[in-house]
Chain A
């Protein structure tokens, strides 16, 4: 265990090159997983020097970025739904149960968010979490009967336009490489 950790941290930033090739002898469980990796590695052809820096995951295609974006959006849904559940919990017959559901949703959202980073650039995936602001507003209007102001409409539009172009920026980079 200790040995694994050492090697893992020694990999440093290069880790994105593919776990399969740099795994230590001692890590049986990790090595097993490495056997599943070749699929992904084959799909990135005799990779250009550039890809060593940005990591093979992005090279694997726009499909993985889409998965990452989908996971981020789902994470935002989980987070906002968790907050909504916490907000309404005291007004229901089963507040404790609902607080627990909220915590669970938050946890699932957190794991989704962390895992999503694997499937693309951080600069594209991290801002996608701002979908949470929009979903929160939507929930406020639909479930809590909060008023929809013009600021909410304009702000939501700006955020959604931004998210759209962020997704596109990933696509255009791929076209260049």
Chain B
């Protein structure tokens, strides 16, 4: 497959994973205590599920064209996207500990697949 298309798919996979998490967070933040079924009435839940579906499909398509040992560590890219999206959308603080922690996790996933 064309390298440009692969690159785009990788970016889509990383971002859709984080956006899925973002919308799950937005959905469950407005969930009343102990009322899990109310979740089904919150539109953000379905947007989150949609992003997760995109994440799932791009993951599978990438696996058709690239070896598992390359696609696998790329999934950790999502966590870096999550750090940025949580800062921009949710205004969550970024501190040095958090950055080092996520770097360490991403490095760990890369080493696992060597």
Contact = CB atoms under 8 A, between A and B. Distances in A.
A167 B113 CA distance: 25
Contacts of A30: 32, 38
B2 interface: no
Nearest to A20: B32
Given A30-B32, A53-B91, A166-B98, A158 B42 contact: no
A123 interface: yes
Interface in A108-132: 111, 113-118, 121-127, 130
B109 A155 contact: yes
Interface stretch (A3-11, A76-84, A85-93, A96-104): A3-11
B108 A159 contact: yes
A151 B112 contact: yes
Contacts of B93: 54, 173
Interface residues of A, number: 57
Interface in B1-33: 18, 21-22, 24-33
Interface of A: 1, 4-5, 8-9, 11, 13, 15-16, 19, 29-30, 33-34, 36-37, 40, 53-55, 57, 111, 113-118, 121-127, 130, 133, 137, 151-152, 154-166, 168-169, 172-173
Interface string B76-114: 101100110111011111110110111111111111111
A165 B101 contact: yes
Given A158-B107, A159-B105, A126 B79 contact: yes
